[in-house]
Structure 1
Amino acid sequence: MYPTLLFLLAVVTLWGKVTAEKELQYVTVLFRHGDRSPVKAYPTDPYQESDWPQGFGQLSQEGMRQHLELGQFLRMRYDGFLNENYVRHEISVRSTDYDRTLMSAEANLAGLYPPIGEQVFSPNIKWQPIPVHTVPQSEEKLLAFPQRDCPRYEELMNETEQTEEYLNITNANKDIMELVRNKTGLKIMTVDAVWGVYDTLFCESRHNKSAPDWVTPSVWERLRFLKDFGLRVIFGVYKHQEKSRLQGGILLGEIVKNLSQAAKSKEMQRLKMMMLSAHDTTMAALQSSLNVFNGRQPPYASCLLIELYSDGGSLSVSMFYRNESRIQPYELQLPGCSLNCPLEEFVKITKPSISEDRQKECQLASSGSSKEVIISLVVSGCLLLGLIIILFLSIIRHKEPLGSRGYRQINNGGAEES
């Protein structure tokens, strides 16, 4: 009995040492902003911008509470990894330049870093200012998707609308799209337009504003389906990986680069967390490029965690998705890898979704050919012009009179001298 007990104690001790060696090294946190007012109203909407306290597209108090709670969750999850006090070298926060994402980040940080000790600057407020960085919307190349600066992507979207799946779904929902067009006063009705109407109705319902009579439970469910389908169309349905390279792969490439950098030297790596505050399309774009998108719109304050672990000299990546505050985040598995994916494999598997030269890949196939044709025509034209000039000069030379070829008249005796 005693040898068996000693053996079990040895195993437990060894297991404790092994598990203790696994250490969190770096985290990327991407979240969607919190609850907001509608971005816009449809023409017949009884609720216009004046009906919302801060106007369209603004974070509500519920949205503030959602992110305060998410920040408190992050504090509990990463307590001991992040210093209890705010340390500027440990965390970097980046947001798109929208009021709702900037305010969501600020509310989140209030939950993550409630001031204690020397960081309390006023006894009347349990908050401290923490920097949130952004760039103008026109310059946002990392967190706003889809990016419309890519001709090849626009071509892919046009091709997507000709696929069997897209045509079948739009044809099967012509009646609901026509109903929405007639009831909302919109002149053009597309899947994207349906998404916009659904979003407006959804925001109004969350803020206790009555839905129009035509929005029955059946209509509501079909609008929800078309909204989710519209999100899938942007990043998938057709040539998914190429779309990823031109869209979500931009952010994925930055995350992979940061993971690789953090893995090089733990001692030199002072930054522990990159926090990104963005939108549902940002979340969908990244998840799609990772091939883990569930096809449904990410809810308010949903959060994707990408964690880098060091374990006895080996490095691994784990991913978690939190889309509901009442339950723990569930683990995401990168297709082709284990849940605790070795960093080397993570980099290898994600590489096809990351463009090395997006500007080149965004060019249309015909653009390069046209450019080559133009250059060829210019060169050929120059050569032809040169030949014409040479031929013209040759003709002129042969037609010149004898007196102009270096001969002159000699007055003494009338003889010619060359």
Structure 2
Amino acid sequence: MNIFLFVFYAHIPFVKSNDTLINVQAIWRHGVRDFYYCNWGCNSKNKPNGDAQILTPAGMRQQYVLGKWIRQRYIIDNQLLSSFFNENEIYIESTDYNRTIMSAYCNLQGMYPQGFEIPNVTEDKLLPPNPGSKSPNIGNYALPYKISLIPIHTKQEEQDYALAIYCKITDSIVESNRKTELYNKINSATQTQELFKRFNSELGLIEEKQVNDIIELAEWRDTFTCNRYNGDNLPQKLSAKTLFYMDQIALLSFSLRQFQNWEQSKLYSTPYLKQVIENFDNFINGNSRVKYRGSSSHDSTMLGIISGLNLTSAQCQADIYLNKSQSDIFCLTENIEFSSNLIFELYNNTENGLYVRILYNGKYVPICSQKGTYCQYDRFKSLVSQQFIDYEKECNLIQEVQREVVYNIPIWSILFFLLVLLCTCGVFILIFMIKQMKDPASSDSDISK
């Protein structure tokens, strides 16, 4: 049963003077990157590989502006954080990809635009010991242009369940999802087939090159989105109408691909939501002083969490797409664009205690019910925790039992050890025999007794 359909059990009146924001956890998708798929304007020479989809200047600007927005809200308006970086107050993490790490740095430049000043020491203390080193003309700041550098923590992808949602069964889930009745219904719907036809015609795709699958269409849409953000050209005959309908089906395609049912949504949302609860608990119990935790991630991470919070689902998106009647539910249908963000705010109310609110792209969304945007923390924690899944077990990530290491000892070392042992024993025997020969009277006396 979907846990977020429970009726909100306690309404908390918002009285600004009685409420104090005490902790924030934010997660965002990286900014605009280079194209990911090699489908248009791409050949074998410039085909991306590895981590080639780096953050572009447009993506840098996006994240910088997002950082300024966060600064305004949590440093200036709410005064949750200090004006200058304090390592005891914030913790920033990122997946181990260039575009997410770069996004985090750009975001932090917006949060903390003024860097550190150098201490009052002699000039020679500010230079490395290299001969010919000269002090730059940058005033009293440590780095040029008042740049502030703040540490960003990463894990290898294979160990990063919360942000990279590394899972060994993802490929099999996608393969299985592409064979479901719901997937085939959307793929064969009249409006989808018309979109395929229009798209293939405008791009001049024929025979085996034609697109007839919504996931493949979403890959083309991703390329065109990157082009639009980065100022690159689009196919001349690609109409605005076709782009509009490609945008309309983008999130549904993604949900059908990897987050098609409630079990899949629970699976992929478990690591991050469990981390949210643990971080809030540690702060509440005095085990952590971190007031702000920022996480730089991907659209797949974001959609998993949003689905796990029941803010959207493949089914509700499909119903809207097929123009089916809707019950009074909340269902996000817009695609998770670059720099989209989800922020968990923990407040303390003098009368009602701790409660949580969630912002998605700067707007409060329903939490613990379909209409309420407030949820007492204990209730939120209880509801979220009920849906946790053993992620490592389900994703086949449980480490094998470590086997006893058998060391192969070289034969020569064994022989050498035996030789030393024999020599040592021989020496002791020789010493004993010499002693007996020098003191025969003592031996005779002992025998006579």
Assess same fold via TM > 0.5: yes
CA distance in 2, matches of 1:219, 1:66: 26
Instruction: State how 1:54-69 maps to structure 2 within 5 Å.
Output: 56-69=52-65
Instruction: State how 1:7-86 maps to structure 2 within 5 Å.
Output: 19-42=16-39, 45=41, 50=46, 56-79=52-75, 80-86=79-85
Report which stretch shifted further, 209-218 or 61-70.
209-218
Find the partner of 2:248 among 221, 225, 229.
Answer: 225
Identify the residue that residue 385 of structure 2 maps to in structure 1.
351
Instruction: State how 1:16-415 maps to structure 2 within 5 Å.
Output: 19-42=16-39, 45=41, 50=46, 56-79=52-75, 80-115=79-114, 118=117, 121-122=141-142, 124-145=144-165, 147-150=166-169, 154-155=172-173, 158-159=176-177, 161-163=179-181, 165-172=182-189, 173-174=192-193, 176-177=195-196, 180=200, 183=205, 186=209, 190-237=213-260, 239-240=261-262, 242-265=263-286, 268-293=287-312, 294-312=332-350, 314-322=353-361, 329-336=362-369, 338-355=372-389, 357-362=390-395
Local SS of the residue matching 2:146: coil
One-letter code aligned to 2:57: Q
CA distance in 1, matches of 2:368, 2:143: 50
**Matched residues, percent identical?**
24
One-letter code aligned to 1:282: T
One-letter code aligned to 1:140: D
Local SS of the residue matching 2:360: strand
Local SS of the residue matching 1:30: strand
Higher helix share: 1
One-letter code aligned to 2:251: D
CA distance in 1, matches of 2:163, 2:69: 23
CA pair 19-131 structure 1, distance change in 2 beyond 3 A: same
Local SS of the residue matching 1:247: helix
CA distance in 1, matches of 2:105, 2:311: 28
CA offsets 1:67-116 (integer angstroms, 9 cap, x no match): 11111111111112111121111111111111111111001111111235
One-letter code aligned to 1:223: M
Once the two structures are TM-superposed, the CA of residue 193 in structure 1 deviates from its matched residue by 1.9
Report which stretch shifted further, 132-141 or 211-220.
211-220
CA pair 36-269 structure 1, distance change in 2 beyond 3 A: same
Contact 1:235 1:288 in 2 (8 A): no
CA distance in 2, matches of 1:359, 1:140: 11
Contact 1:41 1:49 in 2 (8 A): no
In the superposition, the TM-score normalised over structure 1's length comes to 0.70
Contact 1:34 1:67 in 2 (8 A): yes
CA distance in 2, matches of 1:159, 1:63: 31
One-letter code aligned to 1:281: S
Local SS of the residue matching 1:83: coil
Unaligned runs of 5+ in 1: 1-14, 323-328, 364-418
- CA-atom RMSD, angstroms? 3.1
One-letter code aligned to 1:334: I
Once the two structures are TM-superposed, the CA of residue 286 in structure 1 deviates from its matched residue by 0.8
In the superposition, the TM-score normalised over structure 2's length comes to 0.66
Identify the residue that residue 397 of structure 1 maps to in structure 2.
none
